[in-house]
């Protein structure tokens, strides 16, 4: 079994805006609800995968180094997405294929150090970031 990193963006974000952000990066974010993300995790559906890697077991995301390239890239994507007026929430998790998240945490983006959070995400935990205050 392997870990996979998933994310879902809630909000009426225009596809063209989200595609423009995703096209600049190796990582990518998909639109969806927290519920859709949870269903995808249980069904081993890859619609919300953040990376294109074979698996994310050795990903820098959740690896403890807030200055690592992958953590910085994901933080940059989230910052760009949060600047879109329609973006509301982003749910992010690192979970085993076919398993649900065991716990959930919510944070206001304005009240956290994003790189620290991304580097410290725990497996099988769903993090929801409120993008607007």
Q: Residue 2: what pLDDT?
A: 85
Question: By CB neighbour count within 10 A (0-12 exposed, 13-18 middle, 19+ buried), where does 101 fall?
Answer: buried
Q: Residue 20: what pLDDT?
A: 95
Q: Residue 45: what pLDDT?
A: 83
Ordered mean pLDDT values, 10 residues apiece, the chain (133 residues): 90 94 92 93 87 89 95 96 95 88 95 97 95 84
Q: Which residue has the tokens 């294109």?
A: 52
Q: Residue 113: what pLDDT?
A: 97
Q: Domain range for residue 31?
A: 3-130
Q: Residue 69: what pLDDT?
A: 96
Q: Residue 99: what pLDDT?
A: 85
Number of domains within the chain: 1
Q: Rounded to the nearest 10 degrees, how much is the dihedral formed by the CA atoms of 35, 117, 75, 56?
A: -70
- Measured distance CA(110)–CA(16) in Å, rounded: 25
């Amino acid at each position: 079994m392997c870990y996979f990193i998933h994310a879902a963006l809630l909000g009426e974000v225009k596809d063209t805006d989200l595609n423009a952000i995703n096209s600049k990066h190796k990582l990518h974010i998909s639109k969806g609800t927290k519920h859709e993300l949870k269903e995808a995790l249980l069904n081993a559906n890859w619609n919300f995968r953040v990376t294109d890697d074979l698996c994310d077991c050795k990903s820098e995301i959740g690896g403890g180094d807030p200055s690592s390239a992958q953590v910085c890239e994901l933080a940059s994507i989230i910052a760009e997405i949060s600047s879109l007026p329609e973006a509301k929430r982003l749910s992010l998790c690192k979970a085993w294929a076919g398993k649900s998240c065991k716990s959930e945490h919510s944070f206001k983006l304005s009240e956290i150090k994003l790189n620290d959070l991304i580097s410290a995400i725990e497996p099988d935990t769903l993090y929801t970031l409120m993008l607007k205050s």
